[in-house]
A and B are shown apart, each in its own frame.
Chain A
């Protein structure tokens, strides 16, 4: 059973507010990821990290930023939320499987910006 947690699960916030979405995992995985997913649409990778002090932008451009100061913690921050940021944000970590990497997903944060 994968142990990866996200808080809050749901967030409704006004335009212009700063928000931080939390993600933590207790599996000791080095690799972690953030995805953005609109309802019924595909997953888009927005950030990833290969370990402490490593962060990279994903395939989809995002105004959010991330940090990785501790292995278990990978928070995502929006400095000034806008309605276009309304979406579901999924955090994942990965471990080797065969020659690839299996990803374990957190429950997600559903963000609504009004």
Chain B
């Protein structure tokens, strides 16, 4: 079976750092993706991890531990425009299995 868990909602302050966690149990694994989705819009790619460790890209970083079935997305220097839903997705057999998403609200 496929199971991906993320917190439903998080709130953080502009300029702060926030970490969004994702745990997964899937029948296979070809990598883990993070997507950002603003309300009413399509998801857009943020990051991809296939090996253990941290991938950094500007204000966004993503971490993966395959042995623990765990990933997190780290957002630094939060901006109001970062208010969105963040989707964790496991790649398996040409498909992506999505979590329900974490709604991040950034307040001033």
Residues on A lying within 8 angstroms of B by beta carbon are: 31, 33, 39-43, 45, 48, 50, 88, 90, 94, 97-108, 110
A45 touches B95 (CB 8 A): yes
Q: Kindly identify, within residues 29 to 67 of chain B, every residue whose CB is under 8 Å from any CB belonging to chain A.
A: 30-31, 33, 39-45, 48, 50
Q: A41-B100, A108-B42 are in contact. Are A102 and B33 (CB under 8 A)?
A: yes
Chain A residues lying within 8 Å of B44, measured Cβ to Cβ, are 105
How far does the alpha carbon of A39 sit from the alpha carbon of B103 in the complex, in Å? 12
Q: A31-B94, A90-B42, A105-B42 are in contact. Are A99 and B30 (CB under 8 A)?
A: yes
Chain A residues lying within 8 Å of B99, measured Cβ to Cβ, are 42
Q: A42-B101, A43-B87 are in contact. Are A101 and B96 (CB under 8 A)?
A: yes
Closest to B85 in A: A40
B91 contact from A50, A101, A107, Cβ within 8 A: A101
Chain A residues lying within 8 Å of B48, measured Cβ to Cβ, are 97-98, 100, 102
A40 contact from B95, B96, B103, Cβ within 8 A: B103
Nearest CB of chain A from residue B48's CB, rounded to whole Å: 6
Chain B residues lying within 8 Å of A94, measured Cβ to Cβ, are 94, 96
Chain B residues lying within 8 Å of A102, measured Cβ to Cβ, are 33, 45, 48
A42 touches B33 (CB 8 A): no
A103 contact from B92, B96, B101, B103, Cβ within 8 A: B96
B87 touches A50 (CB 8 A): no
Nearest CB of chain A from residue B26's CB, rounded to whole Å: 12
Chain A residues lying within 8 Å of B96, measured Cβ to Cβ, are 94, 101, 103
A-contact bits for B67-104, CB 8 A (1 contact / 0 none): 00000000000000000010100011011101111010
User: What are 7 of the A-B contact pairs (CB < 8 Å)?
Assistant: A43-B87, A98-B30, A98-B50, A99-B91, A101-B94, A103-B33, A108-B40
